[in-house]
Amino acid sequence: MSWIELKLNVPHSILDDISGYLFASGCEGINVTDEGVIIYFTKRKWTEEIKISLLEFIQHSYPEFTLHDIKTVSVAEQDWNENWKAYFKPIHITTRIVVKPPWEEYYAQTGEIVITINPQMAFGTGHHESTKLAIMALEKFLKPKMSVLDVGTGSGILAIIADKLNAENIVAIDNDPVAIKNAEENFESNKSSTNIQYYIAQPEQMRKSEYDVILANINRNVILQNVTLFNQFLIKDGIIILSGLLRNDEPMVLKTFRENGFVLLDKNTDKDWLSMVLKLARKEETDETGGN
């Protein structure tokens, strides 16, 4: 797989304003340098239409931005992996959950859970706000022996953390064979239990089953397309942890899930990003709360 590297000649100060849109457009990574902001797209996802839409959006925050301020370069897989190493350092997601790359040493303190993630070309290092929010919700709501379905597993980070938090019968799926290979390698390097099963699959390809928890750190459109399936996969009182959402996605997503029998348990934000935890409620609960 090859990548498209875009060097954006923009001040660092506007990054908070544009990062949400960059990821929603398909960006797989952001690196801040002295020369500006560097972003990455997989070559198969990149189009000139995306380039024009990025131009128009960035101009809202930085009107002097032009096409000449976008430098496009093809990047080989090996170079992509080396670029990650320059800025992927150990990070505390919560007071006890730490994520680190394999090339960095970290000595765990008492009670800490340390996860080693080699992202390669799959999303999920813990540095992005949407992944942080998903991990925080997972730590708060996951109970031992719960069964878990991780949709769009990427690097496998959420499934591995669920395993470390003593979940059982974990199924992790992704439609990208590269991501599944990466997730399986991360699974092995973390000496995880045998609870995690990995599949190259779309949600609709999975057998109907009953899970206590669904993890969906994916974009809004995929989440909304699969809300009916999510309903069918969960046990009553099961929960779904949604991330990968932008703040302004909340009204539409919440309305759709309420219409499908869910009630909101919790939500959290970080910069432009939003996570929500919803429960598949009994009908009487939905009636009593009005779907809140």
C-alpha span between 4 and 7 (Å, rounded): 10
Read off the pLDDT band of 173 (50, 70, 90).
very high
Partnered with residue 40 across adjacent β-strands are 5, 29
In this predicted structure, which of 28-32, 68-72, 226-230, 252-256 has the lowest mean pLDDT? 28-32
Torsional sign, CA 11, 16, 19, 21: negative
Q: What percent of the chain has pLDDT over 70?
A: 90
**pLDDT 10s digits, 230-256:** 999 999 899 999 998 888 889 999 999
In this predicted structure, which of 45-49, 157-161, 265-269 has the lowest mean pLDDT? 45-49
Ranges of beta strands (E only) in 113-209 are 113-116, 147-151, 168-174, 196-200
pLDDT at 213 over 60: yes
* Cβ proximity of 30 and 83 under 8 Å: no
Its pTM stands at 0.77
Q: Where exactly are the structural domains of the chain?
A: 3-85, 132-289
Helix (H, G, I), strand (E, B) or coil at 213: strand
Pick the CATH number of 3-85 from 3.30.460, 3.30.70, 3.10.50, 2.60.40: 3.30.70
Read off the pLDDT band of 282 (50, 70, 90).
low
pLDDT at 291 over 60: no
Question: How far is C-alpha 105 from the geometric centre of its chain's CA atoms?
Answer: 25
* Cβ proximity of 239 and 264 under 8 Å: no
Read off the pLDDT band of 123 (50, 70, 90).
low
CATH-assigned architecture of domain 132-289? 3-Layer(aba) Sandwich (3.40)
Average pLDDT over residues 85-91: 78
In this predicted structure, which of 55-59, 270-274, 284-288 has the lowest mean pLDDT? 284-288
Read off the pLDDT band of 281 (50, 70, 90).
confident
What local confidence, expressed as pLDDT, does residue 78 receive? 56
Q: Report residue 214: phi and psi, to 5°.
A: -115, 135
**pLDDT 10s digits, 59-71:** 888 888 998 999 9
Read off the pLDDT band of 84 (50, 70, 90).
low
Question: Tokens 């992704």 sit at which residue?
Answer: 174
Q: What percent of the chain has pLDDT over 90?
A: 46
pLDDT at 88 over 90: no
Residue 68, Cβ density class (10 Å: 0-12 exposed, 13-18 middle, ≥19 buried): exposed
pLDDT at 116 over 80: yes
> What is the residue-averaged pLDDT of the chain?
87
Closest CA to 109 of 96, 94, 90: 96
